[in-house]
Amino acid sequence: MIIVVNNNISDSEYKELISYLKEKKAEIHEVRGVEKRIIGVIGNKHKLDKDAIITFEGVEKVIPIIESYKIASRQMHPQATIIEVGKVKIGGIQPVKMAGPCSVESEEQIWQSAEEMAKQGVDILRGGIFKPRSSPYSFQGIGEIGLPWLRDAGKHYGLPVISEVMQIKQIEDMYDYVDIYQVGARNMQNFKLLEELGKTDKPIMLKRGIAATLNEFLMSAEYILSQGNNKVILCERGIRTFVEFSRNTLDINIIPMIKNVSHLPIIVDPSHATGRRDLIIPTTLAGLTAGADGFIVEVHPNPHVALSDGAQQLNFSQFAKLIEDYKIIENSVEILRAKKMKEIEKDASSSLQ
């Protein structure tokens, strides 16, 4: 349930309410909004009486959370969540640009990529170290040796880095080397991995599984959030459909849908959604226009020799073209984002009135 509390409540009255809830063993999540405070009560182990809660000073309303995901729901947190990674803000007015190779392949390749991505105004450098491959005979990632290469290249050019974590053990191994942990589509429902990531203090980018429904996607986010880590970034990377000309189908619909039902930022990944470089630019622009908080695109110094996902990686000049095209709509996208953000937040707050 959600307890809506007036912001004029005194500190002692608020404390009294909180200790009552704790006494009842309620798991609570507090959100301080501009006009109201919201206390989310999660789980069903507590024995809370709605009629008793409403009698507390400052409590305006007690409403049930309708969705099965709770902490991820927009109801619980009307304001959009903004996740800060160094100087980069994910979920704010400016969409975030993440780019870099599918896989880190050598020290030289990642340094070359970092230099070029920084030059082209990218905010976050990507590079897979541990790779989930469909075939056991394909390149499985450079492994641990690549971690300092990625971190140092990023650091040198002022770029925070993101890389995929596939196993619980790797959380610790990667901790000092990455700024954002990526959970891949194949691990979206690896619940034990998600729970462990929920205990870290680093942002997690959770990619949508190839056949995951909206509800399953947000329930996976909930696994991370419920452990105390509220820095969850969602990523739409295409779903499996009957379409045969592209690797997956970018589900544009889920972007505005997520915005309606959740406060979490969502990034669009046109590389894995299409699997083909000729579709990357239009789908990136479509994703951003639909409200995505940024994009993640695979870029390689020479995609023809890439050890993974060669067909979908852009070379440096193709990526420059993406940036050039994005600049044409950048201003309008930001104006639209600010407008939509206000509208959605207003609607979500008024449902708490």
Interface mask toward ligand PEP for 187-216; x: CB under 6 A: --------------------x---------
Residue whose entry in the numeric block shows the structure tokens 């009552």 = 20
Among 77, 263, 272, 277, binds ligand PEP (CB under 6 A): 272
Please report how close the Cβ of residue 271 comes to Mn ion at its closest, in angstroms.
Answer: 6
**Strand 232-236 relative to strand 180-183, pairing:** unpaired
Stretch that binds ligand PEP, among 31-39, 182-190, 277-285, 338-346 (CB under 6 A): 182-190
C-alpha span between 163 and 186 (Å, rounded): 15
Q: Which does 132 bind (CB under 5 to 8 A by kind): ligand PEP, Mn ion, none?
A: ligand PEP
Please report how close the Cβ of residue 117 comes to Mn ion at its closest, in angstroms.
Answer: 16
CB of 78 or CB of 141, closer to Mn ion: 141
Buried (b) or exposed (e) across 157-184, using 16+ Cβ within 10 A? bebbbbbbbbeeebbebbeebbbbbbbb
In sequence order, the 6+-apart residues with CB closer than 8 A to the CB of 148 are: 177
SS3 195: helix
Q: Which does 97 bind (CB under 5 to 8 A by kind): Mn ion, ligand PEP, none?
A: none
**Count of residues touching ligand PEP (by CB under 6 A):** 9
Among 41, 76, 85, 102, binds Mn ion (CB under 5 A): 102
CB of 74 or CB of 207, closer to ligand PEP: 207
Please report how close the Cβ of residue 16 comes to ligand PEP at its closest, in angstroms.
Answer: 47
CB of 92 or CB of 154, closer to ligand PEP: 154
Please report how close the Cβ of residue 254 comes to ligand PEP at its closest, in angstroms.
Answer: 14
Cβ atoms of residues 268 and 236 within 8 Å: yes
Interface mask toward ligand PEP for 118-157; x: CB under 6 A: ----------x---x-------------------------
Closest CA to 71 of 188, 232, 257, 182: 232
CA angle 120, 124, 126 (to 5 degrees): 100
Please report how close the Cβ of residue 43 comes to Mn ion at its closest, in angstroms.
Answer: 37
Decide if residue 164 touches Mn ion (CB under 5 A): no
- 194: tokens are 């998600």
First to last CA, the chain: 15
Q: Which does 204 bind (CB under 5 to 8 A by kind): Mn ion, ligand PEP, none?
A: none
Interface mask toward Mn ion for 293-312; x: CB under 5 A: ----------------x---
Buried (b) or exposed (e) across 192-215, using 16+ Cβ within 10 A? ebbebbbebebbbbbbbbbebebe
* CA dihedral for 178, 179, 184, 187, sign (positive or negative): positive
Please report how close the Cβ of residue 14 comes to Mn ion at its closest, in angstroms.
Answer: 48
Interface mask toward ligand PEP for 67-96; x: CB under 6 A: ------------------------------
Among 99, 185, 267, 281, binds ligand PEP (CB under 6 A): 185
SS3 270: helix
Closest CA to 161 of 147, 171, 145: 147
Cβ atoms of residues 73 and 67 within 8 Å: yes
C-alpha span between 317 and 205 (Å, rounded): 27
Length of the chain: 353
CB of 186 or CB of 276, closer to ligand PEP: 186
Bridge partners, 279 (sequence order): none
By CB under 6 A, name the binding residues for ligand PEP.
102, 128, 132, 184-186, 207, 237, 272
Residues found near Mn ion in the complex (CB under 5 A): 102, 309
